[in-house]
């Protein structure tokens, strides 16, 4: 066993052992504890859990790699995901927490109808499955390189660990596990970033110092057949940059597994403060990611530029064993670098390895390499657990309890939820072994689906009292169908052939169009059909305003408002 494998094994065993111990100590036997942690999570802890839940393998493993190869076009991920979180925290989270209960489909069902609840539960399952595929694949990549096993075996191991602690503790166990996972992932991300910044620039603050390498990075890139790093719109058309950013932003605000995190706080005020702390914890990684992308690409290009194949750095041989780094058969000297086979480059480097390989590329010691591996696993597992809980709650609470067996007790509902989680893990493992794209791209598809389904229904449900069940159902179905159809049309999934993008719109950006269609159909259909009942109007008033601010007339006291004022 190499030194890197030894340190990786140590860090992963210690961190996994901690996660399972936390889950065991937090195990629950009632549905409220399983789904919303009994509404008892402290503000700062919930903020850390939100950050860990939201910052998936895409943020830790793949985002900096995409930024490295996309250059300034990679800002779509930074702007879309962080902007979307602010949108969620300010526009939706406090209102949904004030309403309470267990799941996002439950709010949609109470606001509109049982039919819309069923559609929402189905959408939540589709979104969560798509998202969890990226997490499983990210876990497989970590295990494949650092523990010297196949990616498929790594996916299976990661899934087994996630299943154990998610089933034991439900939301309560997942929340406290995610606090530990955030600690691991942010430590693993910042330590090598600071070390590399100090080595390259002499300034150990990545957010400040990475600008010093940009000119050199532009020169190296053009020498190796790439675009200038800082040049805009080289990898994506301008319209697609806008649409992908918008899809990621409104998709973030509609993600069920992130929204339910705000149900776990003790009060609405706690939900607001949780949002603040989560934004702080998220910013620690997201303000560092551009520096990690720039430093890693600089070290990579400088280390291979015009280098004979026989003299390439050791890290290339290490990662070539996983199939994620390849050298062209006819290459003798590296004169071009790319991130996919279609580029025809001498050296092909998968986006998803750059953060994990960054310590090796920079020549950092083995313990840091092992720590980064543990951080990558923490990021993948923290989000996957939240997604599996959404699938479990949608099946057991929104389908089984609300539609099939309304007399089911807590024990029966928990059993159904755990069985659903086991089934979800099995399907996710199979899909994670055969993902349709890079980790961050797969995750972006999930955001597009959330944008096209949940975001319009939630916004209209809270801020437009005229929206009715027929409009919401029609809008969600139209938005989802358009988005899913276009993704299947442009990707090689389900045995289909990939087709050219229409009007330069990528499958990552179609969710923005799907959301627009959802809004339009929901508004038009609602205007053409009967308005919601007075009870639903009052429900919206209760969510949006304190009692003293409401102006809904009381039936038995004409001329007086709900709070008794004339």
Q: 509 CB contacts (<8 Å, ≥6 apart)? A: 240, 242, 243, 244, 246, 247, 448
SS3 assignment, position 349: strand
The answer to the question of residue 558 being in a domain is no
CB-based contact 467:522 (threshold 8 Å): yes
Q: Are 188 and 277 in contact (CB under 8 A)?
A: no
* Alpha carbon distances (Å) from 173 to 33, 41, 407, 446: 9, 11, 27, 25
| Inside any domain, residue 447 | yes
| Number of domains the chain contains | 1
pLDDT at 54: 79
In a domain, 262, yes or no: yes
How many CA atoms within 13 Å lie on the side-chain side of 160?
A: 7
In a domain, residue 307? The reply is: no
CA-based end-to-end distance of the chain: 79
CA distance 143 to 150: 8
Do the domain assignments include residue 346? no
Q: For residue 254, what pLDDT is reported?
A: 86
Residue 361's alpha-carbon distances to 116, 297, 319, 353, in angstroms, are: 51, 9, 11, 11
Residue 2 near residue 317, CB atoms below 8 Å? no
Report, as ranges of residue numbers, the positions in the chain whose pLDDT lies below 70: 1, 27-40, 100-102, 165-166, 168-171, 436-440, 493-496, 546-566
Question: Which residues are bridge partners to 84 per DSSP?
Answer: none
Identify the H or E element spanning 326: strand 325-327
Token pair 């997201």 in the structure block, residue = 286
Calpha distance 6→194 (Å, rounded): 23
Rounded to an integer, what distance in angstroms lies between the CA atom of residue 123 and that of residue 518? 13
Radius of gyration of the chain (CA): 24
Report the pLDDT value the prediction gives residue 550, as an integer from 0 to 100. Answer: 56
The answer as to whether 74 is a domain residue is yes
Q: What is the structure's pLDDT at 362? A: 92
- What pLDDT score was predicted for residue 562? 40
Q: What CATH number corresponds to the domain at position 81?
A: 1.20.1730.10
Q: Which two tokens stand for residue 69?
A: 């190869």
Whether 308 is covered by a domain: the verdict is no
Q: Are 119 and 477 in contact (CB under 8 A)?
A: yes
Domain span holding position 128: 3-296+363-528
Which residue is listed with tokens 């700062």? Answer: 44
Sheet containing 347-349: which strands, arranged edge to edge? 325-327, 347-349, 337-338
Asked if residue 89 is part of any domain, the answer here is: yes
- Token code pair at residue 393: 């709650």
State residue 89's pLDDT score.
Answer: 82
| Nearest C-alpha neighbor of 15 from the set 178, 190, 155 | 178
Of 4, 11, 65, nearest in space to 317 by CA: 4
Burial environment of residue 284 by CB neighbours within 10 A (0 to 12, 13 to 18, 19 or more): middle
pTM listed for this prediction: 0.84
Sign of CA dihedral 195, 200, 205, 211: negative
Question: What pLDDT score was predicted for residue 554?
Answer: 43
Distance CA 424, CA 409 (A): 22
Strands (E), 256-354: 325-327, 337-338, 347-349
Axis crossing angle, helix 289-304 with helix 354-362, rounded to the nearest 10: 60
> What does the pLDDT read at residue 287?
93
């Amino acid at each position: 066993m190499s030194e890197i494998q030894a340190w990786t094994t140590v860090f992963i065993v210690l961190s996994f052992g901690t996660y399972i111990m936390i889950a065991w100590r937090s195990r629950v036997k009632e549905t409220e504890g399983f789904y919303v942690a009994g509404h008892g999570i402290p503000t700062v802890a919930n903020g850390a859990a939100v950050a860990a839940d939201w910052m998936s393998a895409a943020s830790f493993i793949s985002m900096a790699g995409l930024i490295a190869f996309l250059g300034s076009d990679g800002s779509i991920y930074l702007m879309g995901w962080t902007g979307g979180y602010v949108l969620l925290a300010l526009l939706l989270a406090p209102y949904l927490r004030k309403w309470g209960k267990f799941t996002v489909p439950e709010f949609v069902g109470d606001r509109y109808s049982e039919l819309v609840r069923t559609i929402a539960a189905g959408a939540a399952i589709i979104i969560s499955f798509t998202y969890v595929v990226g997490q499983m694949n990210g876990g497989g990549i970590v295990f494949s390189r650092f523990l010297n096993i196949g990616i498929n075996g790594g996916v299976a191991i990661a899934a087994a660990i996630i299943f154990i602690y998610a089933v034991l503790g439900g939301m309560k166990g997942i929340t406290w596990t995610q606090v530990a996972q955030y600690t691991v992932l942010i430590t693993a991300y910042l330590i090598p970033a600071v070390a590399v910044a100090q080595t390259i620039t002499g300034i150990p603050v990545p957010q400040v110092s990475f600008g010093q390498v940009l000119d050199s990075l532009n020169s190296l890139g053009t020498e190796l057949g790439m675009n200038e790093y800082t040049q805009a719109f080289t990898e994506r058309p301008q319209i697609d940059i806008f649409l992908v950013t918008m899809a990621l932003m409104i998709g973030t605000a509609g993600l069920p597994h992130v929204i339910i995190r705000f149900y776990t706080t003790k009060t609405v005020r706690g939900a607001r403060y949780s949002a603040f702390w989560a934004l702080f914890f998220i910013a620690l990684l997201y303000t560092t990611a551009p520096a990690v992308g720039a430093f890693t690409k600089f070290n990579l290009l400088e280390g291979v530029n015009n280098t004979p194949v026989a003299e390439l750095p050791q890290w290339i041989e290490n990662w070539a064993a996983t199939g994620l780094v390849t050298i062209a058969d006819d290459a003798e000297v590296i004169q071009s670098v790319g991130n996919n086979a279609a580029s025809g480059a001498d050296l092909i480097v998968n986006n998803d390895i750059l953060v994990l390989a960054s310590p090796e590329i920079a020549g950092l010691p083995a313990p840091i390499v092992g720590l980064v591996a543990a951080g990558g696993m923490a990021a993948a597992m923290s989000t996957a657990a939240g997604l599996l809980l959404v699938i479990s709650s949608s099946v057991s609470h929104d389908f089984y309890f609300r539609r099939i067996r309304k007399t089911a007790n807590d024990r029966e509902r928990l059993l159904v939820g755990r069985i659903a989680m086991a089934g979800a893990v099995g399907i996710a493992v199979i899909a994670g072994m055969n993902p349709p794209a890079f980790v961050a791209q797969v995750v972006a598809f999930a955001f597009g689906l959330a944008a096209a389904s949940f975001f319009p229904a939630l916004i209209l449900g809270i801020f437009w009292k005229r929206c009715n069940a027929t409009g919401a159902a029609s809008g969600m179905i139209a938005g989802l169908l358009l988005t899913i159809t276009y993704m299947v049309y442009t990707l090689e999934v389900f045995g289909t052939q990939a087709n050219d993008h229409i009007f330069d719109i990528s499958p990552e950006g179609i969710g923005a169009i799907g959301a627009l269609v959802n809004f339009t159909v929901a508004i038009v259909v609602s205007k053409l059909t009967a308005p919601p009942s007075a009870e639903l109007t009052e429900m919206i008033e209760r969510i949006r305003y304190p009692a003293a601010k409401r102006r809904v007339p009381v039936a038995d006291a004409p001329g007086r408002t709900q709070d008794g004022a004339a």
